[in-house]
Every structure is written in structure tokens, then in C-alpha cells.
Amino acid sequence: MSYFVVGYYALLIGASCLAAFYSKRQLFLLLFSLTLVSFIMGIVGGVPALWGVTICAGLLALAGGTSYAFREFLVIIAPREPAKELRTAPLTASFGMFVIFTYAIAGIFAPVIAPFGEAEVVSTAFAPADPQMLLGADQLGRDLFSRLVFGARNTVGIALLATLLAFLMGAVAGLLAATKGGWFDQLLGRIADVIMSIPSLIFALLMLSIFGTNLVVIVIIIAIIYAPRVFRLTRAVAGNVVVMDYIEAAKLRGEGTWYLIRKEILPNSTAPLIAEFGLEFCFVFLLISGLSFLGLGIQPPTADWGSMVRENATLISFGEITPLIPAAAIALLTVAVNFVVDWMLFRSSGLKG
Amino acid sequence: MGDVFKLVLKRLGLGLITLLVISVLIFFAVELLPGDIAQAVLGQGATPENLAALREQMGLNDPAPLRYLNWLVGALQGDFGISLVSGERVSAAIGPRFVNTLFLASYAAVIAVPVSIVLGVIVALLRNSIFDRVANVLTLTSISSPEFFLGYILILYFAVKWGAFPAIASLGSDMSLAELLNRTFLPALTMVLVVTAHMMRMTRAAIINLLSSPYIEMAHLKGTPPWKVIVKHALPNAWAPIINVVALNLAYLVTGVVLVEVVFVYPGIGQLLVDAVSKRDFPIVQACCLIFAATFILLNLAADVGAILTNPRLRHPK
């Protein structure tokens, strides 16, 4: 029984007693169930397991603190109306915004932040970390940290481009289908059905085997795969708007289709579309990373997180976490975007789930 | 009952048509190649004689619709032609691997389905409590992580640090079931983690949707004990969404299997597909895509039919 274990349980039990005393019921439940779980984990895994729990709790607290501070910061610098909305944002959402902000900074200022170039060989293969190379070197002796920073620019940039293209195609088709209706609507609907009935990864692999793996092809293929989702949503949302009286009035005034879409329908259907954009980005990002991981996406020597995982995968059998770092970078961004989207959906639908 | 039969038959027909359209798409996508398959296989430096010989051998001189029909008829009989790289029959390469993939997917499904439905119902009953919030964050994290991230974390801890399970799922032909289950545990667990998160969220949403309906409130108000409300009033209506959730997620498993197989070097059809794509072995790519798409459509169809059978309201479309 080390001091650590005694202190650990004393802290947990003390905190849960305090929570119970001040009748913070939820907090008490959380703390006390953590204590009970720790009993089991302590018996099975010993002291290291308890250390693991402590480190996780510390990280969570750090993340919570950061997101709280970031939210306050945003509330102060934002103009009045958005500030009111931001004040109600849950901590998860502000954590998401913080992560997205960090990634954006890393992506935009990549050449300034990274100590070395993305394809620059600066050391021996798999060199361990030192003060110059924060995370060590990869299989060719390139600095992993620099590649990670450049990856924020390449991977996220390409995913963003593909999402934008998918969105453009899907939204325009959806709006046209909703306003025109008839056979045009039917035709687009059936095409969307067919594309959506093939699993996206399989479809992407089929197309890549035919057109080969270059960047333009990847972006276009992914845009085509994900456009039908946007199409369906836009069509459904716009379909609800199209039957409104003011659209009828605009039609009677003699306005054209393009005017209707731009001035009447679009402003009234932006909220769900923005949330969809976030979700869509997550799907596209995961698909591109998956393809790169399979060696069929973004090609070397471009720094890209998916292929970095693949290149360094052998290290995992020596108990190194190096290949996990780029994978974690992918997961973190997707989680962050999902958190923000969750909050937006909650806000726009008034959904009390 | 005749109505239901007709409706199910209609859905089946629709599924069949979709499958046919997709087979056309898969076959003619290859026709989009600059030049043709023979040119793509032999490369730019091929002599005209070689090209002509290969075209003759692959039957490329026939018109495309005829070749499509031949391919389709062959595919229906399990004959997908001959691999361009190894020269062996595609069906011989795919057959045993397809069995492996099905084994892995069903292994994952057997664990994931009961666990996620029970957890999903519990979380729905505890909605808006702190457990619900924690579960929400955890499932969201699990969904957002790429499969290879989860896979490598599991390898790092279960295989390398604790040595509990093998990291590489190599299968022999004469292994006992226990050995087989042990070897494929980590890939199955990876898929379980992803699919469970999806299924939990969907089950939770479906149950909450159900519990907020007025007739449940009525049952509470007239003094029915809570367990009876769940078992007698909520459950019969919950089957439809739950069956739907299960079938949709099994369909999701089919795609997820590709990445997981590559991470664990599992001898399945997903690994074969990825290899074939990088080697541009079109007959194998086409066959694998057709199999994946067919499974996907079949499971989605099952979701539809299950929903129709368990929810009488869907039998009378407006």
C-alpha cells in the first residue's frame, strides 16, 4: 500500500462525501461510481491502473479548464448577439471550437511552426525524440512533429476541399430539384439512391482502381460519393420552404428560379445545412484518412496523417506510440467537429433528447 | 396478410433492381479506362501483337453489353473470371477469404448486438443524467475515431504490453474454435467498439422517441408499475426501430471490415480488395465490390422488411 494509493482513495472518497454533503447529486454519483470502479481496477491492474485513471482525470480536467477559458474568451471578444449564444454552449462544444482553432492555426502557419520541412531527411530512421525533434523521426529519418504540422495543412485542406465540392454539387442539385420538381427531381433522386446504396469506401476503392490515385481524382470521387447526402437534406429542407406562401408570391411576381433559390429559399434553410456541413466534413475526413492509410489516398512524400500511421505501423510491435499520434490527431479533429455539430443541431432543432 | 406479402415482395424487387443497376455500374466503370483493360495491364510499351493476344484471351473483342451479360451470368454462378495478376480463378481466391470475413463480421455482431441494445436502453432510461452525458461523449469519440486508431490502441495494450491476445490474426485450417476465437479477438473487438457506439446512440434515440409518446405517459399516469410500462407498453413498439438499427449497423460492419482487416493482416476479402486495387487487378476488384455491395443492399433490405413486419403502420403507405 503506497502513499499514492492511500491518497487516491482518500481524495476520491473525501470528494464524494463533500459532493453528497452539498447535495450535488450528479457529481456524487460520478465520483462514487469512479471509486467503485477503481476498487475493481486496482485489484486487477494494480497501481499502474490507478495511475492511468489519475492521468486521465488530470487530462480531462485540463481539457475542461481550457474549454471553459476559451468559451469565456470567445464571449468577451464576440459581438453581442453571438456572445449570448456562446454563453449557453456546453463545455464539449467550446472544447471542439478550441481544437478546431488550434488545427487551423497549425495548418495556416505550418511552415513557420514546423522546425523542418515536410520531406526533409534530418536524422536516421526511427531516431528517438530529442529537444530538436519533439516526437522523434519516422521510417526515413524525417521529423515527425514537422510532418504532423504539415499534415494539418494537407489532410485537412484536402478534406475541406472535397467537402466543399460535395456540398456545392449536392446543394445546387437539391435546390434545383426542390424548385423544379417533376422528372428532373425524380432523375436526381434515383441517381442519389444508386450512389448511396454502395458502401462509400468500396465505391471509392473501385473508382481509384480505375482512375489511379492522384489528388484531383480523389477529391472529385469523394465529392461524388458524398454529394447525395447533401442533396437529400437540401431537397427535404428546401421542399418545406418551397410550399410557403411567400415563394408563391415571388413566383407570381415573375422572379426566376435562380432568384428564388438565392434570395428566398437559401436564407431560410441555412441552419441545418451548416450542421450538415460539419458532419459531412467528418465523413470525408475519415474516408480520406482511411484511403491514405490503405496507401491509396494522398501519396508520399506529402505529409498526411493517414499514410503516416501506415508508414510507422511497425513501431507498434515495439510498444512505441509513434503511429498512434497521427491517428489520434485524426480522431481528435473529428471528435471536435462532432461536438460542435452536436451543439448546433441541439440549438437549431430545440431537440431536448 | 396478403398485403404484407405484396409489400415485402415489392421491396425485394426494388432491391434486385438496385443490385442490377450497381452491377452495371461496376462493370462499365472499368470501361471508362483510357484505352482498355489490356492496355492498362500491359502498359504503354506493349506491342500490338501482345495487346491483340490479350484482348482475344479476355474476350475484349466482343461488344460491351455482351461481355456484361457473360460476366453477370458467370457471377450468378460464382464464376468471376480469371485474375489478371496471378492467373488463378477469382472465385478460388475469394471463396475461403469470404468465409473468413463473414466469420469475423458475425463474431463482432454476436458480441456487439446484445451489448449495445442493453446499454442503449439503459442510457435511454437514464437520459439527461451524468451517465448519459459520459456515454454520449464516449460513443461520440468512438464513432469519430478511425478504425485503425482503435485497432492500433488495442494492439499496443492487449498484444504488446499485456500479451493477452495475438496482434496478427493468422488463421490455419486445422485450428479449434477456441483457438480461432482467441486469434480473431482483437479485430472483432475493434469492430465491436465502433459498431456498439453507433448502435447505442441509435437505440437510445429510438427509445427516447418512444418514451416521450403520449400513450407511455398515459400508462404512467394510470399507475402502471415502471417495469410493466417498459415490457408491456414500450417494448412491442420498440422492436421495429431496434431491428432497423441492428440491420443498418451490420451493413456498416461490412464496410468497416476493410480497414480492420488491413490493420490486423486478417486473410479476408477486404484485404484482398485493397491489394487488388493497388495492383489494378480488375476482375478481383469487380467481384469484391459486387459482393460488398450485395451484402450491403441485402442488409438494408432486411432492415426495411423487418420494419414492415414489426410495424403495422408501414403496411398502409399513404
Which residues of chain B neighbour A30 with C-beta distances below 8 Å?
130, 134
Q: How far is B145 from chain A (nearest CA, A)?
A: 4
- Interface contacts (A, B; CB < 8 Å): 145
Whether B309 contacts chain A with CB within 8 A: no
Which residue among A194, A209, A313 sits closest to B282, beta carbon to beta carbon? A209
Report the alpha-carbon distance of residue A225 to residue A222 in Å, rounded. 5
> pLDDT grade, residue A353 (50/70/90)?
very low
Which residues of chain A neighbour B149 with C-beta distances below 8 Å?
309, 324, 327-328, 330-331
Residue B294 has pLDDT above 80, yes or no: yes
Which residue among B137, B285, B300 sits closest to A206, beta carbon to beta carbon? B285
Residue A343 has pLDDT above 90, yes or no: no
Q: How far is A326 from chain B (nearest CA, A)?
A: 9
Residues facing B82 on adjacent strands: B89
Q: Give me the sign of the Cα torsion angle B34, B37, B40, B42.
A: negative
Average pLDDT over residues B230-245: 82
Task: Give percent of chain B with pLDDT exceeding 90.
Answer: 3
| Helix, strand, coil abundance in chain A, percent, nearest 5 | 80, 0, 20
Residue B260 has pLDDT above 80, yes or no: yes
Average pLDDT over residues A323-335: 90
Report the alpha-carbon distance of residue B311 to residue B309 in Å, rounded. 6
Residue B85 has pLDDT above 90, yes or no: no
Q: Report the amino acid identity of residue A137.
A: A
Which residues of chain A neighbour B32 with C-beta distances below 8 Å?
210-211
Q: Which helix (H) or strand (E) covers residue A52, if one does?
A: helix A25-77
Which residues of chain A neighbour B257 with C-beta distances below 8 Å?
none
> pLDDT grade, residue B173 (50/70/90)?
low
Which residues of chain B neighbour A306 with C-beta distances below 8 Å?
146
Report the alpha-carbon distance of residue B85 to residue A326 in Å, rounded. 34
Residue B1 has pLDDT above 60, yes or no: no
Q: Which helix (H) or strand (E) covers residue A322, if one does?
A: none
> pLDDT grade, residue B34 (50/70/90)?
low
Residue B318 has pLDDT above 70, yes or no: no
Kindly determine whether residue B149 and residue A327, on different chains, have CB atoms separated by under 8 Å.
yes
Report the alpha-carbon distance of residue A119 to residue A140 in Å, rounded. 9
Average pLDDT over residues B287-309: 86
The packing angle between helices A25-77 and B130-144, to 10°, is: 60
pLDDT in tens, A116-159: 877 777 777 777 777 777 777 777 778 888 888 888 888 899 99
Q: Is the pTM of this model over 0.95?
A: no
Can you give the pLDDT at residue A333? 93
Mean pLDDT of chain A: 85
| Collapsed DSSP state (helix, strand, coil) of residue B240 | helix
Judge whether B277 and A208 are in contact, CB under 8 Å: yes
pLDDT in tens, A261-303: 888 888 877 778 888 888 899 999 999 999 999 888 888 778 8
Residue A351 has pLDDT above 60, yes or no: no
Identify the closest residue of chain B to A321 by CA–CA distance.
B156
Report the alpha-carbon distance of residue A285 to residue A155 in Å, rounded. 8
Can you give the pLDDT at residue B136? 87
Average pLDDT over residues A87-109: 90
Which residues of chain B neighbour A209 with C-beta distances below 8 Å?
276-277, 280, 282, 285
Report the alpha-carbon distance of residue B139 to residue B75 in Å, rounded. 39
Identify the closest residue of chain B to A195 by CA–CA distance.
B22
| Collapsed DSSP state (helix, strand, coil) of residue B262 | helix
DSSP B159: I
ipTM: 0.85
Report the alpha-carbon distance of residue A165 to residue B313 in Å, rounded. 39
Report the alpha-carbon distance of residue B160 to residue B162 in Å, rounded. 6
Residue A352 has pLDDT above 70, yes or no: no
Kindly determine whether residue A331 and residue B278, on different chains, have CB atoms separated by under 8 Å.
no
| Sequence-ordered list of residues with C-beta below 8 angstroms from that of A284, at least 6 positions apart, any chain | A159, A162, A163, A166, A222, A226
Average pLDDT over residues B105-121: 89
Mean pLDDT of chain B: 83
Which residues of chain A neighbour B153 with C-beta distances below 8 Å?
324
Whether B285 contacts chain A with CB within 8 A: yes
Q: Quote the Cα angle for A209-A214-A216, to 5°.
A: 115
Q: How far is B109 from chain A (nearest CA, A)?
A: 18
Identify the closest residue of chain A to B206 by CA–CA distance.
A353
Report the alpha-carbon distance of residue A102 to residue A107 in Å, rounded. 9
Can you give the pLDDT at residue A104? 92
| Sequence-ordered list of residues with C-beta below 8 angstroms from that of B314, at least 6 positions apart, any chain | B307, B308
Can you give the pLDDT at residue A95? 92
Which residues of chain A neighbour B146 with C-beta distances below 8 Å?
286, 289-290, 293, 306, 327, 330-331, 334
Alpha helices in chain B (DSSP H): 2-31, 37-42, 48-58, 64-76, 90-125, 130-144, 147-154, 177-183, 185-211, 214-221, 226-228, 235-263, 269-279, 282-310
Report the alpha-carbon distance of residue B42 to residue B51 in Å, rounded. 7
Q: How far is B149 from chain A (nearest CA, A)?
A: 5
Whether B155 contacts chain A with CB within 8 A: yes
> What's chain B's Rg over C-alpha atoms?
24
